[in-house]
Amino acid sequence: MSSDDDLPEDSKLTKTKSRWAELGKFLTGQLSRPEDARLPPGQHLVKNWPILDLGQTPNVSKEVWRLDIAGQVERPQTWSFDDLMAQPQADKLNDIHCVTSWSRYDNHWKGVTTHQLMDAVGVKPEARFVLFTSNDGYTTNMAIEDFASEDALIAHTWENEPLSRDHGGPVRLVVPHLYFWKSPKWLKRIEFAERDHRGFWEVRGYHNHADPWKEERYS
């Protein structure tokens, strides 16, 4: 019987990395769709960027912001904003789709990819789901395959400006291939778990998966 333990250290790492690549491979929102097929069913295009949340706008400065990364990981960590900036930085360009039916094209983000975060903490093979908690008490959840999407990132910058407080600044998650309620603003905790724990909207009848291309709005 072969196991990961038999492999030298560096090929273990390669194995982990290729596992993320494998998990996230088919989950990109940038499927180079032709322009007329770019809008998911039941959506309309907006040029502005609407603000939607529970009505509490936490005031979290960069100085006090912390991100706990916990659960099924080899190295649980708490990142300050400086720790986040010390990670390799990525640029992403994607479309976002809100379940209330607006979509917004061509958002430029900067931040840390979810792949990078998973490598930094050493996500264990037992981890199958991810639960997020925000400073306003909001929670949401997804399968690790969705978190591992090529397009997903922990974002601090939008259109070359620091992410505004209304849109979740200093730091939010962006998982653009799912409806936007799966992209928590004012992110404060990421927990990797063996089991799924439904978040704020998921326990209130929203779909657990939330693929806009399949119109997974309500369950």
Which of 79, 109, 186, 192 is the binder for ligand MTE (CB under 6 A)?
Answer: 186
CA distance readout (Å), 45 to 49, 96, 101, 105: 10, 10, 9, 8
Residue closer to ligand MTE by CB (options 72, 140) is 140
Which of 181, 192, 200, 206 is the binder for Mo ion (CB under 5 A)?
Answer: 181
Distance CA 30, CA 85 (A): 25
* Cβ neighbours of residue 3 closer than 8 Å, sequence gap 6 or more: none
Residue closer to Mo ion by CB (options 138, 181) is 181
Q: Applying CB under 6 A, does 188 fall inside the site for ligand MTE?
A: no
Cα dihedral value 189, 132, 57, 205, nearest 10: -160
Q: Applying CB under 5 A, does 46 fall inside the site for Mo ion?
A: no
Minimum CB distance to ligand MTE, residue 179 (Å) = 7
Distance CA 40, CA 49 (A): 17
Minimum CB distance to ligand MTE, residue 154 (Å) = 13
Secondary structure of residue 46 in the 3-state scheme: coil
Q: Applying CB under 6 A, does 43 fall inside the site for ligand MTE?
A: no
Contacts with ligand MTE by CB under 6 A lie at 49-54, 98, 134, 136, 138, 167-168, 180-181, 183-186
